Amino acid sequence: MFGRVLSGDYPRSPILTGALLLILFVLAFAPFLFTGAQPLNVAAKICVFILLVASYDLLLGYTGIVSFAHTMFFGIGGYGAAIALSRLGPSWAALALGIVAAIAVAGTLALLIGLFSLRVRAIFFAMITLAVATAFLVLASQLSGFTGGEDGLNYTVPELLRPSFRLFAEPIFGTIVNGRIVTYYIVFFIALAGFLLLLRVVNSPFGSVLQAIRENEFRAEALGYPVVVYRSFASVVSAVMAALAGILLALWLRYTGPDTTLSFAIMIDVLLMVVIGGMGTLYGAVIGATLMTIAESYLPAIMGSLGKVGAGIPFLSTLLSADRWLLWLGILFILSVYFFPTGIVGKLRAHWQNKRHGTAQRQDSSTPGDSGNTRPSN
């Protein structure tokens, strides 16, 4: 049963299993566990980012290509829902139209970029996606008649999802189930379904080909797998999932703007979440997204108080100020790429495997889809 749901890709470490179950439990019951808007906001953001980061890991960790346009697809999703809802009014039909349009645009664009840049050299992909994403950001902030420019778009969501809506007359477990909670569960279940779908994709024969391409592009091609086609298709799947995450964020925030979806800082965030959680394992996306989102939601306060400590010393106070968190994230990022390339999940799995080596002979070290701890440091 669990094997089917997880596509046979188990966490393979008791600590990791525990952490994942805890995250699943907290996210599933977040509206009833916490009071106030902030924790629910953080929980919804974690759901969205798990899907976004997992879809990015399909490219970075499984296929071995770096894209800087992932936030562009995230933004296409967000703007698709936002433009449809603000133009056509808060109806389900408008939302559906926005979703279909966003997914179609994201998929087509990803296919075009892939066919143009992956034909020659994978390294072009990173450079071209950076260029295209920058152009898209400029376009989104310049075409203010269409996208709302720098200010972004505010819009009303369908009635079922509004805070004033009551699903039940009576409170459940002391919590009034309003439209926000309905929205939260929509976000949660779609993110969960998307994540399980991605797990299915990476553990399918298609996913194995992607990993083969990552390990040795030339050999994969020689075995008869057209590398360009597989890479382009992976980038399409990843883009569509990112657009889906963007739609979820748009529904949750009821606002879409360049800063919440397209900005380069979000791209860095996503990169960091993948690397810290562990490249090449989707569970890494869960761990990375959860840790980073919690840290970023509560870190500014901590750094603010640290900044006061160094107040007397020049530069130290600026180094520690809350605005400079990107500096520390950058350093953390470089260090984790060097010293921690398999991320938290890779470390946990390796730890558990070493532990079992002592007692029993290795049993499942060659499971297919295992890439977190056995891949060479490439």
Partner 1 sequence: MTDGITEREETTVRAPAIDWIPILLVAAVALIALPLIGSFSTWVTLTMAALAMGMIIFIMASGLTLVFGLMDVINFGHGVFISVGAYMSLLVLRPLTGWVESPSIALNIAVLVLCILVAMAASGLFGLAFERVIIRPVYRQHLKQILVTMGGLIVIEQLLHVFFGGSPITIALPQTFRGGLALGPDIIVERYRLIAVVVGIIVFLAMMLVLNRTRIGLLVRAGVENPEMVEALGYRIRRLFVGVFAAGSALAGLGGVMWGFYQQTLTVGMGLQVLVLIFIVVIIGGLGSIGGCLIGSLLVALVANYTAFLEPKIALISNIALMLLVLMWRPQGLYPVVKV
State yes or no: residue 132 binds partner 1 (CB under 8 A).
yes
- Under rule CB under 8 A, which residues in 321-350 are in contact with partner 1? 323-324, 326-327, 329-331, 333-334, 337-338, 341
Q: How far is the CB of 132 from partner 1 (least distance, A)?
A: 6
Nearer to partner 1, 127 or 172 (CB): 127
Nearest distance from C-beta of residue 325 to partner 1, angstroms:
9
- Tell me how far apart the alpha carbons of residues 152 and 137 are, in angstroms, rounded to a whole number: 12
Distance separating alpha carbons of residues 68 and 24, to the nearest angstrom: 29
User: Could you say which residues in the range 91-130 bind partner 1, by CB under 8 A?
Assistant: 116-117, 119-124, 126-128, 130
Whether residue 114 contacts residue 147, with contact meaning beta carbons closer than 8 Å, is answered with no
Task: Say whether residue 300 binds partner 1 (CB under 8 A).
Answer: no
Backbone angles phi, psi at 178, to 5 degrees: -100, -175
Cα–Cα distance for residue pair 135/128, rounded to 1 Å: 11
What's the closest the beta carbon of residue 375 comes to partner 1, in angstroms? 11
Three-state DSSP state, 198: helix
Structure tokens belonging to residue 76? 């296409």
Q: Identify which of residues 173 and 338 has a Cβ nearer to partner 1 in the complex.
A: 338
Instruction: Pick the piece of the chain touching partner 1 (CB under 8 A) from 138-146, 302-310, 343-351, 354-362.
Output: 138-146
Site for partner 1 contains 228 (CB under 8 A): no
Q: How many angstroms separate the most distant Cα atoms in the chain?
A: 67
Nearer of residues 33 and 131 to partner 1, judged by Cβ: 131
Q: Calculate the CA dihedral of residues 95, 98, 99, 105 and round it to 10 degrees.
A: 180
Site for partner 1 in 274-293 (CB under 8 A): 275
Amino acid letter, residue 3: G
Nearer to partner 1, 138 or 167 (CB): 138
Report the residue number, 39 or 221, with the smaller CB distance to partner 1.
Answer: 221
Q: Does 255 bind partner 1 (CB under 8 A)?
A: no
Quote the CA–CA distance of 103 and 25 in Å, as a whole number. 30
Q: Is residue 315 a contact point for partner 1 (CB under 8 A)?
A: yes
Q: Could you tell me how many residues of this chain bind partner 1 (CB under 8 A)?
A: 45
- Between 165 and 204, how does the x/- string for binding to partner 1 read (CB under 8 A)? ----------------------------------------
> Which H or E element spans position 40?
helix 37-57
| CB 53 within 8 Å of CB 289 | yes
Segment near partner 1 (CB under 8 A), from 22-30, 135-143, 176-184, 230-238?
A: 135-143
Question: Shortest CA distance to 129 belongs to which of 238, 282, 208, 227?
Answer: 238
Structure tokens belonging to residue 358: 């002592």
Interaction of residue 212 with partner 1, rule CB under 8 A: no
> Cα dihedral sign for 369, 372, 374, 376?
positive
Residue 318 binds partner 1, judged by CB under 8 A: yes
Tell me how far, at minimum, the Cβ of 329 lies from partner 1, in Å: 7
Nearer to partner 1, 59 or 153 (CB): 59
Residue at token pair 């346009």: 69
End-to-end Cα distance, the chain: 35
Residue 215 CB, shortest distance to partner 1, in Å, is: 12
Closest Cα to residue 237, out of 273, 282, 272, 275? 282
Give the integer Cα–Cα distance in Å for 204 and 7: 8
Residue 164 beta carbon to partner 1: minimum distance, rounded to whole angstroms: 40
Place of tokens 């967000």: 78
Return the beta strands (E) in the chain as ranges: 153-154, 255-256
Closer of 65 and 102 to partner 1 (Cβ): 65
Binding residues (CB under 8 A) for partner 1: these are: 60, 64-66, 116-117, 119-124, 126-128, 130-132, 134-135, 138-139, 142-143, 264, 268, 271, 275, 315, 318-319, 323-324, 326-327, 329-331, 333-334, 337-338, 341, 377-378
